[in-house]
């Protein structure tokens, strides 16, 4: 049964709020994963692995069902259809980047009390930058801010540069001292996960641009 236009607009807005909520949970998994590594907080890492991802998975399914119901019952067109389609695409990116946060927590548990090969500097910077990019992407989504979405390209360049710097440094450690290979490999995986999180934030930004303008643009 078709809704009244006011009810339909409210349903769309509520859908966007649910996506924003999923974004906050996903960011929490990312930030928590990095925080657990820096602080060697194994309780936090275990919580992220055990609980946070389940909540995100459940919310993803709920949002997907609401999107499908709106498409089936309301037969949206033009921008309304793009909004619903964008929501369905964004929740996939949010699920994947939250999984990467869980992976970081798992590596934290694997590393355990073993000392780092050097103080962590660039990986925390990458984590902070990735969280900022996700914040920007979700703010652009909820406010339909195309210029903010486009602005993620510059931060993506910074994320790329940090990743290259971390990777080169870790390779040097492994070459100079084979005993560091295991821990350096673990940290390299974490840097790669953070780079992929930044990529997912750019995917979201590109989808926002399409949602608002109907035009396809690459971000990052």
What's 19's domain CATH number?
Answer: 1.20.58.220
Are 62 and 18 in contact by the 8 Å Cβ rule? The answer is yes
| Residue 76 domain-assigned (yes or no) | yes
For residue 1, pLDDT over 70 is answered with no
Domain count, the chain: 1
Element containing residue 34 per DSSP (H, E): helix 5-39
Res. 213 pLDDT band, cuts 50 70 90: very high
| Residue 219 domain-assigned (yes or no) | no
pLDDT at 101: 95
pLDDT tens sequence across 35-93: 999 999 999 999 999 876 678 889 999 999 999 999 998 888 899 999 999 999 999 99
The pair phi, psi for residue 75, each rounded to 5°, is 50, 60
- Distances in Å between the alpha carbon of 39 and those of 35, 42, 114, 191? 6, 9, 13, 17
pLDDT tens sequence across 153-169: 999 999 999 999 999 99
First-to-last CA distance in the chain?
42
| Residue 98 domain-assigned (yes or no) | yes
Using CA atoms, how far apart are residues 68 and 76, in angstroms rounded to an integer?
A: 11
| Residue 218 domain-assigned (yes or no) | no
Task: Point out the least confidently predicted range of 46-60, 92-106, 132-146, 185-199.
Answer: 46-60
Domain that residue 63 falls in: 5-213
């Amino acid at each position: 049964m078709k809704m009244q236009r006011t009810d339909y607009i409210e349903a769309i807005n509520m859908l966007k709020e649910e996506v924003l909520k999923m974004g906050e949970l996903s960011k929490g998994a990312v930030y928590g994963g990095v925080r657990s590594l820096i602080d060697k907080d194994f309780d936090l890492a275990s919580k992220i692995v055990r609980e946070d991802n389940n909540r995100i998975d459940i919310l993803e399914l709920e949002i997907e069902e609401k999107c499908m119901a709106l498409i089936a019952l309301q037969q949206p067109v033009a921008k309304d259809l793009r909004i619903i389609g964008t929501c369905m695409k964004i929740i996939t990116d949010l699920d994947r980047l939250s999984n990467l946060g869980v992976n970081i927590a798992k590596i934290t548990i694997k590393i355990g009390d073993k000392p780092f090969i050097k103080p962590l500097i660039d990986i925390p910077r990458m984590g902070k930058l990735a969280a900022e990019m996700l914040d920007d992407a979700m703010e652009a989504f909820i406010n339909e801010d195309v210029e903010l979405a486009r602005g993620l390209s510059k931060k993506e360049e910074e994320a790329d540069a940090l990743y290259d710097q971390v990777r080169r440094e870790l390779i040097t450690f492994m070459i100079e001292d084979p005993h560091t290979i295991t821990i350096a490999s673990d940290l390299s995986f974490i840097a790669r996960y953070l780079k992929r999180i930044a990529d997912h934030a750019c995917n979201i930004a590109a989808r926002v641009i399409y949602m608002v303008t109907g035009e396809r643009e690459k971000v990052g």
